Amino acid sequence: MLANSAVPGFGTKLRTDSYYQSVDGIIRTLRPVATLRLISEKLNSVGFTTPRNLPWDRQRLAAYMRKKSL
């Protein structure tokens, strides 16, 4: 798993840069051909959780994509 288990400092990213690159890459690859539900299932199946360590679902994925402008 690419997640960093250390507690982040105030105002810092919750995960490493490689985590965000990997998650963003999966989303960008699948978004033209898959629904948010399928993308969230894929992220969960390969072991990724949200930046707050929750399982992905379509609402969390949509919020993440809005925040990151994906």
pLDDT at 7: 58
Helices (H), the chain: 17-30, 36-45, 58-68
- Tell me the pTM: 0.79
Task: Report DSSP state, residue 22.
Answer: H
CA distances 64 to 16, 36, 68, Å, are 16, 11, 6
pLDDT at 10: 62
Token pair, residue 56, equals: 């992905």
Per-residue pLDDT reduced to its tens digit, 4-56 = 455 555 656 678 999 999 999 999 999 999 999 999 999 999 999 999 999 99
Q: From CA 30, how far away is CA 39, in angstroms rounded?
A: 7
Higher pLDDT, 61 or 16: 61
In this prediction, residue 61 has a pLDDT band, given cuts at 50, 70 and 90, of very high
